[in-house]
Structure 1
Amino acid sequence: MADMKIRHFRLEDQPTLGPPIEGLVRRPIVGAGTQIMEVRLDKGFKVPRHNHPEEQWSYMISGRLEFWTDEEPDGFIVGPGDVVHFPPNAWHEAVALDDVLEIDVFWPIRPQLLGPLTAADGTLVDEDSDR
C-alpha cells in the first residue's frame, strides 16, 4: 500500500456498472480494500432479497427506502441523513419509495458489484422479481 497515491474522483465522471438495469444506476470506485458506490434508484425499484459476505454501510442522501431484514421483517423506512449498517451475511431487501440517491460503502471490496447484479452465490439476480 505504500505505493498508493491520493486520488480525486468525481462520481458523475465514473462509468456506470453494467449491464443496464432499468431504474438503477450504480457508479463504483474501488480502493485498496474498500469500495464506495453512488446508487440511484427510481421510485418503485425493488432490490431483491440478498446477502453478501461483505460489510455494507448505506448513507441516504435523498429519497426514502423501505428495507426488510430477518431482524426487522415488518420493515423500516430510511430517508435523507440516515445510515444503515448491514453486517456480513445479513439478508436484506428494499423498495424505493421515492427517487433515491445513496452512497454505499463495502468492506472488503464486493466483487459482485464490479459486474452484473449478482447474488452472494454468484447467480444473476432478476431485477423484476417481486418482494
Structure 2
Amino acid sequence: MLQAMAPPTFRFLAVPYNANAARRHHITRPKRRATNWAAYDKALHRLMPGHEPRPHSHVHEQIVLILAGTIRFHVNGEQHLVGPNGLLAIPPSAEHWGEAVSDEPVPSLDIFTPKRPEYL
C-alpha cells in the first residue's frame, strides 16, 4: 500500500533504488510525513515489450516506481536497469527514455512535480 510521503530529496541525479536490496542491507527508511498532493501529478503507465523508445525531456522532476517487469532507463547518457519495486528519480530537463527489457508489460507509477498541464 502506498502512503503519502514527502518527495525524497535528490541532488538531481538519476538514482536507482531497490526496496528489496535496501531491506537486505538494513537501510533505514526516512520519517514519514504527509504532503500536499495538490502539487504533484500521478500517472500509471504501462510500457509494452517492443515499444519504440522516444527520447524526451520536460521541466518536471519525475519519480518512477516500477511495479513489475524490468526496464532499461536512459537518463542523460547513463543507463539504469530497474526491476520490480525499483525506484528512479529523473531530474528536470534531463533527456530520458525507457525500453522494456522483459517479455512482459512494465507497469509503473510516475509522480511529476510541478503538475503537468497536459495531465489535467
Please state which band the TM-score falls in when normalised by the shorter chain: 0.5 to 0.7
Which position in structure 2 is the counterpart of 1:120?
A: none
For this pair of structures, how many residues does the alignment match? 82
Q: Which runs of 5+ in 2 are unaligned?
A: 1-36
Alpha-carbon offset, residue 46 of structure 1: 2.9
| TM-score, reference length from structure 1 | 0.57
Which position in structure 1 is the counterpart of 2:90?
A: 86
Structure possessing the higher relative contact order (Cα contacts under 8 Å, 6 or more residues apart): 2
Which structure has more helix as a fraction of its residues? 2
Which position in structure 2 is the counterpart of 1:105?
A: 111
Whether contact under 8 Å (1:65, 1:94) holds in the other structure is: yes
Alpha-carbon offset, residue 69 of structure 1: 2.0
| TM-score, reference length from structure 2 | 0.62
Paired residue secondary structure (2:53): strand
Identity of aligned residues (%): 32
Alpha-carbon offset, residue 71 of structure 1: 4.3
Q: 1:66 aligns with which of 67, 72, 82?
A: 72
- CA-based RMSD: 1.5
**Structure 1 runs (4+) greater than 6 angstroms displaced:** none
Paired residue secondary structure (1:32): helix
